[in-house]
Amino acid sequence: MDYSTMCPKYEAAADILGKKWTGRIIRVLLGGPKRFKEIKEQIPEMSDKMLTDRMKELETITIIKRQVYPEMPVRIEYELTGKGRELEPVIESIQKWGEQWM
């Protein structure tokens, strides 16, 4: 691999994962589909607005999908797409590095 120049695709991926809260949201959703409240319970220090904003961003870039169930009351769940699930080894590597060095 050539590390002498910066690859635009690497930069784009690093920008996504480097945003505050994004890695944590993906890690939570690796456990399966979750409702907004369930995600918030696992990341309590994150504001509702920030979670909403990050979820919209991740949905726009097709890392997560939002599923609306027409029940009463309406139920909405978020889950990783195939693209999002492909991040599992990346998240696991960060976890392993953190356990060793942090």
CATH of the domain at 52: 1.10.10.10
Number of alpha carbons in the 13 Å side-chain half-sphere of residue 16 = 22
Give the pLDDT score at 1: 77
State the residue range of the domain holding 87.
33-101
What's the residue count for the chain?
A: 102
pLDDT band at 3 (very low <50, low <70, confident <90, very high): confident
Which pLDDT score, from 0 to 100, does residue 25 have? 98
Residues 11-58 have pLDDT tens digits of 999 999 999 999 999 999 999 999 999 999 999 999 999 999 999 999
Does residue 69 lie within any of the structural domains?
yes
Number of domains in the chain: 1
Asked whether residue 41 is domain-assigned, the answer is yes
Q: What is the pLDDT of residue 4?
A: 82
User: pTM of the prediction?
Assistant: 0.90
6-to-2, 9, 11, 70, 93 alpha-carbon distances in Å:
9, 9, 7, 46, 21
Give the pLDDT confidence score for residue 2 in this predicted structure: 78
